[in-house]
Copies of this chain bind each other. A is one copy, B any other.
Amino acid sequence: MTEKQERILETALSLFAKDGFSATSTSKVAREAGVSEGLIFRHFENKEGLLNAILENGRQKLTVIFDSIHHLEEPKEILRRVIELPLTIDEDQRPFWKLLYALKWQADVYDDSMSNPMKDILIPVFEALNYHQPELESELVMVLMDGMASHILLKRSGNVEDIKELIFKKYDL
């Protein structure tokens, strides 16, 4: 990975997240990255290839987080970690998440790859906690997390920490 290659990925992610994928031109990415436009196509073949490289990059970091949760033993500890996941997104990861959430609505792009691993984590938790409908409870938590993530990524004021505590209370965590 060249330095210029990384610059392209970095500024493309930032621009895609801020203005949207199709509203961001390759020429703008090149200009902002201080690179010739041709270089983008040399390294990433086309605009979509650039997007895929960005997504693949982010997905790898994601797997690490998932695995670290999966290795925990105590069910309530796992549930706590899962629920507060949206709150643990740190500043430099935000553009990636914004891009991911924006792309969901982009027709063809939508990707459920995060959904199943999460279910695999949550269902055993609710089984261990003797909930009546573990699968349904898992889906509900995932819906909640989706809402929380949107809430946080779009910076809608409110105190997210308090909402988290409220959810913890409801699940007796």
A106 touches B20 (CB 8 A): yes
**Choice from B18, B20, B159 contacting A20 with Cβ under 8 Å:** B20
**Choice from B20, B146, B162, B163 contacting A22 with Cβ under 8 Å:** B20
Can you name 13 A-B pairs with beta carbons within 8 Å?
A19-B107, A22-B22, A101-B105, A104-B150, A105-B105, A112-B156, A136-B159, A136-B162, A143-B144, A143-B148, A143-B151, A143-B163, A146-B151
Chain A interface SS verdict (over half): helix
Quick one: which of A55-99 are within 8 Å of B by CB?
98
Chain A interface, number of residues (Cβ within 8 angstroms): 38
Answer yes or no: A39 CB below 8 A from chain B CBs: no
CB A112 to nearest CB in B, in angstroms, measures 7
Answer yes or no: A129 CB below 8 A from chain B CBs: no
B147 touches A143 (CB 8 A): yes
CB A171 to nearest CB in B, in angstroms, measures 10
B-contact 0/1 string along A148-173, CB 8 Å cutoff: 10110010101100110011001000
Closest 7 CB pairs of A and B: A147-B147, A102-B105, A143-B147, A22-B23, A146-B147, A22-B22, A139-B158
